Amino acid sequence: MEAIRLATINQTLQDSKTKHFTFANPPEELPLESGEKLGPITLAYETYGELNAQKSNTILLLHGLSGDAHAGGANGWWESLIGPGKGLDTDKYFVICSNIIGGCRGSTGPSSINPKTCKPYGIDFPLISIGDMVNAQARLIDHLGIEKLLSVIGGSMGGMQVLQWMVSYPERIRSAIPIATTLRHTPQQIAFNEVGRQAIMADPDWKKGHYYGSTVPAKGLAVARMIGHITYMSDVSMAEKFGRRFKEDKEPFKFGAEFEVEGYLHYRGDNFVKRFDANSYLYITKAIDYFNLLNGKNLASIFSGLKAKVLVIFFKSDWLYPSYQSQEIVKACKLAGVDTTYCEINSTYGHDAFLLEAEQQSQLIKHFLNTASNGHNGVKQ
Amino acid sequence: MKRATIKTEHKIILDWISKDASVLDLGCGDGELLALLINERQVHAQGIELSDTAIHRCVAQGLSVFQQDIDTGLSEYADNSFDYVILNQTLQQVKKPDFALKEALRVGKKVIVGFPNFVQASARFQIFFEGRVPVTKALPYEWYDTPNLHFLGIADFKNYCKKRSIHIADSAFIRKNRKIKLFPNLFAEIGLFLLSS
């Protein structure tokens, strides 16, 4: 059943022009930061716009925890920012949105078949890091014949990948736009993720990760998603969206969902289960929690030598990734002498603003990319 | 941007800044001065500004800017990180001008300060004869809606520099968009100073 469900997901994505690149075939597996190896690896990606003759107009777009390669076009997670004349103008730029290893949206992850056992990996899948995700993406960029990216852009976990690109492949990027993100996960952020993981693992259907082919841990994954959603919104956005209003169809049970906010969280949780794999949620949240670009290094050294221009964007109601974390990124850039711009966008949406605030974000990104692609620092007459 | 439209205060600042210099503009507004410096002097420019709309206009012009409060300091910058630090129409608006100027002099080899002269003749006239807090062309704000927190004149600033042993390398005074030399403390609407520590 599960295999069929995942196959259906992959088929749907293929229909919306998701492409797949397979590499790291044994014995050429990809070495992971954990010391383990992974291969073969399939990476799902989508592209929008055309690569120019000089191969100088490529933008690599990276998604957050629950996102996938389908960023542009109908129902794409950044649909409002990708297209002709939009922030990521497909008349000018060649946009690649890459999925991540460890995921379940067309790329190799715990629900993929382990070639050694011919069964899904489950929790035999090796632990992966943001660095590993980025290394796999670099292989995709090689495969597409692109030496240098005009820009690498992403929000939340996508922003962490952007920061990792700045550290791992500084010579391969001309600019970078980390949005609503951090240099390292804090105890509070780790704590929220841990509650999500515990909810999954407490679900009897989880069966130590080997549930493929039987009932999936739907309850656990739905609760994990509900917790996540609370952290992505703000007090104001929840009050505006739900108030204390009651649902129209109250359940005939004392502790059924009565308030609209409860109904919404249930709906979000249940929907998520239809498109996401619980083990992937465990692996990806771990990768986020382990993310720490500082890791004993001093702030001044992490971006030293970086020639790329950087635009850091923060949303004023984002309490999950507070402003001091964006300012720390800016500080690290300043100390390294990196050409940097920092903007705080007014929004009440909370962390989710990076997916929802299209207008201002679009303008900032459009102008910044214009400057970056003209290859000069400053104003033209 | 045509040369004819350049404000006199910007023209003076332009004359003080050398080609290819590095410039930090504290309170850069919509980036008019920075854009001018890049075009005319090919400077390496960085702006700091708090206002949302101003920041967006800066980015639209291709400027590198930080949305940040100057009062929180420039602690990340090493001593003498910039050839010039500019505080044009900013000093009178920050909470701690003394601290801001000290920091500017630390991170900049030279500092350019421009401010409205609060004791200029028409302001004095309004206070003395009308008995009202002045509202003039250089000081267009009503008392209840002004970004200006500190009120100083040309003489006050010169005294301050003397007290703090700040060297004034050059100065210029403007009235009605023209440079003036005579009795600046009485007549100038704007004072501009080129400082070094």
Query: Is A318 a known active-site residue?
Result: yes
- Within 8 A of A306 by CB-CB distance, chain B residues are none
Tokens, residue A141: 């960029």
DSSP conformation letters of A184-238: B--HHHHHHHHHHHHHHHHSGGGGGG--TTS---HHHHHHHHHHHHHHHS-HHHH
Spatial CB neighbours of B139, under 8 Å, sequence gap ≥ 6: B116, B118, B123, B148
Q: Which of A331, A346, A379 sits opposite B35 (nearest CB)?
A: A379
CA distance A308 to A338: 7
Q: Reduced to 3 states, what is the DSSP secondary structure of residue A379? A: coil
Tokens, residue A84: 């002709």
Cross-chain Cβ contact A341/B64 below 8 Å: yes
Q: Does A374 touch chain B (CB under 8 A)?
A: yes
User: Which residue on chain A is closest to B82 by alpha carbon?
Assistant: A337
Is B129 a domain residue?
Answer: no
- Within 8 A of A360 by CB-CB distance, chain B residues are 56
Query: Is A203 a known active-site residue?
Result: no
Interface of B with A in 30-59 (CB under 8 A): 34-35, 38-39, 44-45, 52, 55-56, 58-59
Number of structural domains in chain B: 1
Report whether pLDDT(B182) > 60.
yes
Is B32 a domain residue?
Answer: yes
Closest CA–CA distance from residue B72 to any residue of chain A (Å): 12
In contact, A157 and A137? CB cutoff 8 Å: no
Phi/psi-derived region of residue A340, left when phi > 0, alpha when psi is between -120 and 50, beta in every other case: beta
Is B57 a domain residue?
Answer: yes
Query: Is A266 a known active-site residue?
Result: no
Identify from B76, B77, B79, B80 which residue to disrupt to test chain A contact, counting A C-beta atoms within 10 A and taking the largest count. Answer: B76
Per-residue pLDDT band for A247 (boundaries 50, 70, 90) equals confident
Residue-wise pLDDT for A160-199, tens only, equals 999 999 999 999 999 999 999 999 999 999 999 999 999 9
In contact, A353 and A180? CB cutoff 8 Å: yes
Q: Does A303 touch chain B (CB under 8 A)?
A: no
Report whether pLDDT(A362) > 80.
yes
Domain of B38: which CATH number?
Answer: 3.40.50.150
A325: nearest Cα among A183, A210, A197: A183
- Within 8 A of B39 by CB-CB distance, chain A residues are 378-379, 381
CA distance A287 to A291: 6
Mean per-residue pLDDT over chain A, rounded: 93
Instruction: Pick the catalytic residue from A132, A203, A277, A318.
Output: A318
Report whether pLDDT(B27) > 90.
yes
Identify from B22, B34, B67, B75 which residue to disrupt to test chain A contact, counting A C-beta atoms within 10 A and taking the largest count. Answer: B67
Q: Reduced to 3 states, what is the DSSP secondary structure of residue A120? A: strand
User: Which residue on chain A is closest to B63 by alpha carbon?
Assistant: A378
| Residue of A374 and A347 predicted with greater confidence | A347
pLDDT of residue A291: 98
pLDDT of residue A39: 96
Q: How many CA atoms lie within 13 A of A85 on its CB side?
A: 0
Identify from B36, B51, B64, B72 which residue to disrupt to test chain A contact, counting A C-beta atoms within 10 A and taking the largest count. Answer: B64
Is B143 a domain residue?
Answer: no
Residue for token digits 């249940």? A270
Identify from A329, A377, A381 which residue to disrupt to test chain B contact, counting B C-beta atoms within 10 A and taking the largest count. Answer: A377
In chain A, the domains with their CATH numbers are 2-184+293-374 (3.40.50.1820), 189-289 (1.10.1740.110)
- Within 8 A of A334 by CB-CB distance, chain B residues are 76-77
- Within 8 A of A371 by CB-CB distance, chain B residues are 62
Element containing residue A365 per DSSP (H, E) = helix A358-374
Report whether pLDDT(B121) > 80.
yes
Distances (CA, A) of B50 to A36, A54, A202, B28, B72: 47, 39, 47, 9, 11
DSSP conformation letters of A18-36: -EEEEE--TTSPEEPTTS-
Q: Does A330 touch chain B (CB under 8 A)?
A: yes
- Within 8 A of A367 by CB-CB distance, chain B residues are 59-62
A112: nearest Cα among A221, A203, A9: A9
Cross-chain Cβ contact A339/B64 below 8 Å: yes
Per-residue pLDDT band for A10 (boundaries 50, 70, 90) equals very low
CA geometry: angle at B86 spanning A341 and A334, to 5°?
30
Per-residue pLDDT band for A16 (boundaries 50, 70, 90) equals low
CB atoms within 10 A of CB A267: 13
Report whether pLDDT(B57) > 90.
yes
Q: Does B14 touch chain A (CB under 8 A)?
A: no
Spatial CB neighbours of A23, under 8 Å, sequence gap ≥ 6: A30, A39, A40, A41, A43, A139, A143
Q: Does B64 touch chain A (CB under 8 A)?
A: yes
Residue-wise pLDDT for A75-113, tens only, equals 999 999 999 999 999 999 999 999 999 999 999 999 999
User: Which residue on chain B is closest to A316 by alpha carbon?
Assistant: B52
A124: nearest Cα among A59, A192, A212: A212
Report whether pLDDT(B30) > 80.
yes
CA distance A125 to A262: 34
Report whether pLDDT(A2) > 90.
no
Q: Which of B1, B55, B76 sits opposite A343 (nearest CB)?
A: B55
Is B76 a domain residue?
Answer: yes
Is B27 a domain residue?
Answer: yes
Cross-chain Cβ contact A334/B39 below 8 Å: no
- Give the structural domain span for B31: 3-118+152-196
Is B166 a domain residue?
Answer: yes
